[in-house]
Each structure stands twice: as C-alpha cells, then as structure tokens.
C-alpha cells in the first residue's frame, strides 16, 4: 500500500498552492540536522557514477557495512531501503501466521496483505503509556511463525531493552522475530538496545540509513540475520537494487567513522535538548498528553473536542505538516505525531498546540476562562 504514510508534502503543497519546499514537514521522521555536509559533498563529487549500472549485488557496501558493525558479511543483505526488505519478508520466510506488535508502522501488515499471509496484532494502549509487557508479549507470540517488532517503535517512541528482547527470543525458538531498528541511532541507548550481531538463530534485524542521515530519497537499507535466512532473501533479490549514489553514501559513511560518530552525537544532544523544550512547552496544556519517547518524534493524545483531523488541518494552514495517526491500527482520531525539526519550527508547533488546547477547553493564553473558540 502507498497511502498509509506521512510525509506527503507534495499533496499539501498542491492544495495550498505553494512549493513543496515551503512546507515544514514535521510528519517525516528524519534527522533535523542532516544530511552531513561531507556526505553531500561526496554525493556531488560522484554524480557521474549514474552513467553506469551499479554493482549488481551490492556486495562491496555489504562488506563495508559488515566490517563497520563487526558482523559476518554472509549475514548481511542490502536493498533499496528497508521497505523492500519488509515486503520481501513474508515470501522469503514463507510465513504462515504473522504477529505484529503495535500500534506500529503500517508496512508490516501491508507486506503480509500483499502475499495473502494471515496476520494478527498484539496492541499496547495508552493506559500503559505504550510500554510493552515482555512477559505478555511472549504469551502472545505462541503459535506465530513470524513476529514484527519496531524498536524504538513508530509512532509511539517506546523502546525495549536488548536483554528483554533476547529473553523473548528464547521463549519462542521456532518463531522468527523481525526487529526493525530504523530509529535506534537517535537513542542514547543504541549500544544497549540493539540486537544486531547477537547471532540469535531466530532473529533478523532491519537497519536503515534514511532516518539518522536524512537521506530517505537514496533508499538504503540492510537486513542482518543468520546466513541460512539471508540465503532465503537472496532468492528474491533483484539485480542492481541499490543505486550508484546510494553506494557512494554507504562508502562515505562506513569509511569516515569519526565524522559519523560526531554527527550522531551532535544529533542526539540536539534532540535531547529539543525534547526537553517540547515537553516543557506543552506541560499542563489542557487536552494534550505527550508520551515519553526514545526517538526524535512524539506521539500525542488529544482530549476534549480535539481531533487529529482538525489539529492537522490547523497546522496545515500555516504550512506545517504533522502526522495524523488515525490510520495506525490501534490508534484513532485522538492521536497525532510530531517529528522534531529546528528549534524555531519546534517552537512554532509548541505555540500552536498550546493555543489549540487552551481554545478547546475555553481558556485564554493565561489559562483563564474565556469564550469558547474553535479547536484550531
């Protein structure tokens, strides 16, 4: 499916009669500091590589990735973004019954639907602040041959510790767990939460370079798992699936480790500061509940007469796009997601959401009683 995602700045720009560049896109979860200057310079310097076909099996960047993360190259496959790998998973694993831990990214269910694979959901709700009970998850996994878990999760921002995940894997050794770590580089807990390279036989890990380096248009994704599982995916690997500029990007990122680590450290420091400002700015605002997050985005629950549609439309009129989460399985019109951007953009959304909450509860900006205004 191609309609269940955020980031559609093109449709909003057309509706508002402006250029896509005029839209502040806070619906797409990418690094507000990216892309790296050195990376963009490398891409410009290698633009002429598009005149020839890329390496047919992308083995060079597989080897570079494996060396950087200290894993066996035979345990890695590269693809045109993790989306391609997600959609290949049900057919490559010959899944018969899939469990999706949610609310979460829609492509896991879409991939199952594409191949007619039955799938169910284990949904965590707002009453638990979207924090997973790992023991209950283990019980829910019984009888399923494939389980999708996004960690940290999109759109909730919740994180499961690596030791909890490894315990879960051991409880269901016949089940293949697909752990999507696309947003883990944003978290200070990355080294303690990643299960990449754990060599657990019933686990595959998805790794994306799109989010942390802000290069989603290049489409770069990797899958890491046991060699026997990687061989299954190779049966569905298309030739030349990773384009030439994507090769250039991986080569730069995997061979400039110190610069990359500095960039990621700066990103995490910026996000930590902006998360504190965002939470403080909306603390106590009536009609808004901001859930804790380990990522660069916040899930928020709306109260009173607020709806995701009205809130999103109010911001859209200011050329700001946030994510309406009503089409996430397990969520509804009470939920929106905001991805952090620059400090100025973040403050703009804080101010607008604060006004929305106050208006919806019939309060003025000092939280004093006032005549009821519109919700947006």
Q: Where are the domains of the chain?
A: 9-30+259-360, 52-255
Among 87-101, 141-155, 160-174, 279-293, the minimum mean pLDDT is found in: 279-293
Q: How far is the C-alpha of 315 from the C-alpha of 296, rounded, in Å?
A: 19
DSSP one-letter string for 172-218? -TTSEEEEE-TTGGGSTTHHHH--TT---TTEEEEEESTTTTT-GGG
Placement of tokens 């439309």 in the chain = 313
Q: Which CATH class is domain 52-255?
A: alpha beta
Q: How far is the C-alpha of 326 from the C-alpha of 348, rounded, in Å?
A: 23
Mean pLDDT over each residue of the chain, to the nearest integer: 92
Placement of tokens 């060396």 in the chain = 67
pLDDT given at position 92: 98
With contact defined as beta carbons under 8 Å apart, do 340 and 24 qualify? no
**pLDDT for residue 7 is more than 60:** no
Classify 107 in phi/psi space as left (phi over 0), alpha (psi -120 to 50) or beta: alpha
Which is more confidently placed, 360 or 91? Answer: 91
* Region 194-218 average pLDDT: 95
Q: How far is the C-alpha of 336 from the C-alpha of 27, rounded, in Å?
A: 9
Q: How far is the C-alpha of 73 from the C-alpha of 168, rounded, in Å?
A: 26
Q: How far is the C-alpha of 283 from the C-alpha of 72, rounded, in Å?
A: 47
* Order of strands across the sheet that contains 335-339: 288-290, 297-302, 335-339, 323-324
* Region 269-293 average pLDDT: 94
Classify 58 in phi/psi space as left (phi over 0), alpha (psi -120 to 50) or beta: left
Q: How far is the C-alpha of 270 from the C-alpha of 199, rounded, in Å?
A: 33
* Region 221-235 average pLDDT: 97
Among 62-76, 196-210, 277-291, 348-362, the minimum mean pLDDT is found in: 348-362
Q: How far is the C-alpha of 118 from the C-alpha of 354, rounded, in Å?
A: 42
Q: How far is the C-alpha of 183 from the C-alpha of 151, rounded, in Å?
A: 7
With contact defined as beta carbons under 8 Å apart, do 297 and 157 qualify? yes
Task: Tell the CATH topology of 9-30+259-360.
Answer: 3.90.1150
Interval 309-327: pLDDT, tens: 999 999 999 899 999 999 9
Cis status of the peptide bond prior to 103, with omega within 30 of 0: yes
Is the alpha carbon torsion for 46, 49, 50, 55 positive or negative? negative
With contact defined as beta carbons under 8 Å apart, do 147 and 173 qualify? no
With contact defined as beta carbons under 8 Å apart, do 149 and 178 qualify? yes
The SS3 of residue 133 is coil
Query: Which of the four pLDDT bands, split at 50, 70 and 90, describes residue 75?
Result: very high
Q: Is 113 exposed, middle or buried (0-12, 13-18, 19+ CB in 10 A)?
A: middle
CA 230 centroid distance within chain: 23
* Region 169-187 average pLDDT: 97
**pLDDT for residue 369 is more than 80:** no
Rounded (10°) angle between helices 59-69 and 244-255: 20
pTM given for the model: 0.93
């Amino acid at each position: 499916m191609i309609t269940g995602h955020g980031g559609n700045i093109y449709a909003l720009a057309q509706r508002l009669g402006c250029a896509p560049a005029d839209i502040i896109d806070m619906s797409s979860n990418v690094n507000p500091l990216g892309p790296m200057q050195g990376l963009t310079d490398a891409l410009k310097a290698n633009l002429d590589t598009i005149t020839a076909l890329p390496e047919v099996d992308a083995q060079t960047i597989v080897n570079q990735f494996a060396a950087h993360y200290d894993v066996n190259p035979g345990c890695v496959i590269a693809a045109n973004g993790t989306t391609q790998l997600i959609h290949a998973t049900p057919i490559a694993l010959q899944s018969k019954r899939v469990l999706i831990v949610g609310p979460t990214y829609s492509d896991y269910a879409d991939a199952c639907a594409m191949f007619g694979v039955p799938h169910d959901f284990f949904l965590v709700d707002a009453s638990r602040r979207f924090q997973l009970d790992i023991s209950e998850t283990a019980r829910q996994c019984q009888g399923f041959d494939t389980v999708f878990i996004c960690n940290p999760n999109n759109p909730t921002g919740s994180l499961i510790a690596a030791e909890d995940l490894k315990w879960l894997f051991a409880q269901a050794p016949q089940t293949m767990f697909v752990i999507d770590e696309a947003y883990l580089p944003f978290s200070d807990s990355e080294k303690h939460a990643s299960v990449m390279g754990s060599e657990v036989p019933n686990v595959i890990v998805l790794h994306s370079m799109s989010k942390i380096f802000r290069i989603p248009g290049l489409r770069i994704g990797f899958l890491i798992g046991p060699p026997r599982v990687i061989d299954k995916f190779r049966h569905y690997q298309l030739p030349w699936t990773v384009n030439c500029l994507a090769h250039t990007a991986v080569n730069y990122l995997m061979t400039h480790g110190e610069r990359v680590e500095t960039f990621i450290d700066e990103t995490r420091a910026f996000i930590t500061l902006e998360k504190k400002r965002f939470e403080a700015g909306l603390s106590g605002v009536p009609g808004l509940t901001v859930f804790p997050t380990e990522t660069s985005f916040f899930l928020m629950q709306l109260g009173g007469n607020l709806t995701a549609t009205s809130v999103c439309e109010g911001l859209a009129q200011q050329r700001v796009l946030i994510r309406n989460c009503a089409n996430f399985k397990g969520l509804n019109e009470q939920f929106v997601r905001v991805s952090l951007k620059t400090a100025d953009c973040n403050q703009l959304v804080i101010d607008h959401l604060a006004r929305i909450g106050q208006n919806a509860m019939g309060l003025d900006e000092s939280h004093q009683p006032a005549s009821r205004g519109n919700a947006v």
